[in-house]
Structure 1
Amino acid sequence: MSTTTTSAARRRAVRAIKVYWPVSQQTLASVAAGDIAALEADPSLGELLHVLETSPEVGDFGLYTDVFEVGVGAEGFTAVHGATPALGAIGARALSPTLTFTTYIDARTTDDEVSWVLSRIMDAHPWEVPVIELSAPLDLVLRA
């Protein structure tokens, strides 16, 4: 007869912050292979990591801080007249190697504090039109 251990769960109300960040193909491949140093070696990413590290209200999981997830992918776009694209050309479809950073902020954080964090991320972002998502409050499920 086998016994099963179950962990009690608790929920914590948070908001997700998801940031799309352009990188070189080399950085994309290195991160996909699990090379954390590739994040720190990229000057643009270094700015984002600095914002996350110096924003105590972001990525707080109690026993762990500065928590974020990195997704590997690509973002497609077409720049229109008036744009100043860092990649691609006006009127042509382009594909940018992109890392997606997701972290969480407590749902009780004031709107002013959330805006301050988002402004810091936007100021560090290299794109002319940064893509940053802020979710409605949602529940994270944690061990009790």
Structure 2
Amino acid sequence: MAMTAPPTTVDRVPVTRRRVRTIKVYWPVAEETLTAASAGDLDALRRDDSFAALLRVLESTPELGDFGVYGDVFEVAFGAEGFTVRPGARPSLGTVGGRFLSTTLAVTTYVDGTLDDDALAPVLARLVAAHPWEIPVLELSAPLDLVSRA
């Protein structure tokens, strides 16, 4: 017969769930910005002209990153994006025919999962309009539950 452990205090912590969608956007930054931010210098993100445009959108769009007593919430993953520039492109980095590597931040934020398409469209349009790439890369998740303390 298997024995079960008695519930711990952690087992009794009340949790709440809310419906959200994640928006993940890949954003180019200067190599110096990537290095400084990975060392903990978050002000480096504001000093980077490209990333500062994203911060302005986050700060001026109340639907993005709303966690009640916390606002403009976003997460950053450090990385690089490789690509080949094909004929017809107007790249912000590189030249036609070349293969390039861009220092990039993958930025994830959240939006209310109950927003309908009409309410979500201007939020996504603001992100696309601020993005420096010819073809911005944004991922929008299906609605999911975000779990936190009650």
- Under TM normalisation by the shorter chain, which class is it? over 0.9
- Please, which runs of 5 or more residues in structure 2 have no aligned partner? 1-6
CA-CA distance at 1:5 after TM superposition: 2.4
Match among 121, 136, 141 for residue 130 of structure 1 = 136
1:31 aligns with 2:40: no
Matched, 1:107 2:105: no
- Tell me what 1:78 maps to: 84
Residue matched to 2:9? 5
TM-score (norm 1): 0.93
The range that moved more, 104-113 or 21-30, is 104-113
TM-score normalized by the length of structure 2: 0.90
Distance 2:99 2:90 in 1: 14
Q: CA-to-partner distance for each residue in 1:58-88, whole Å, 9 max, x for gaps? A: 1111121110001100001111100011212
Runs of 4+ in structure 1 deviating by more than 3 angstroms, as ranges, are none
Secondary structure of 1:17's aligned partner: strand
Deviation at 1:93, TM superposition (A): 1.6
Higher alpha-carbon Rg: 2
Which of residues 47, 63, 66 in structure 2 aligns to 1:57?
63
The CA RMSD measured in Å over matched residues stands at 1.3
**What is the distance in 1 between the residues matched to 2:137 and 2:89?**
15
Number of residue pairs matched by the alignment = 142
1:109 and 1:56 map into 2 onto residues whose CA distance is: 13
* 2:123 corresponds to: 117
Q: Taking every aligned residue pair, what percent have the same amino acid on both sides?
A: 58
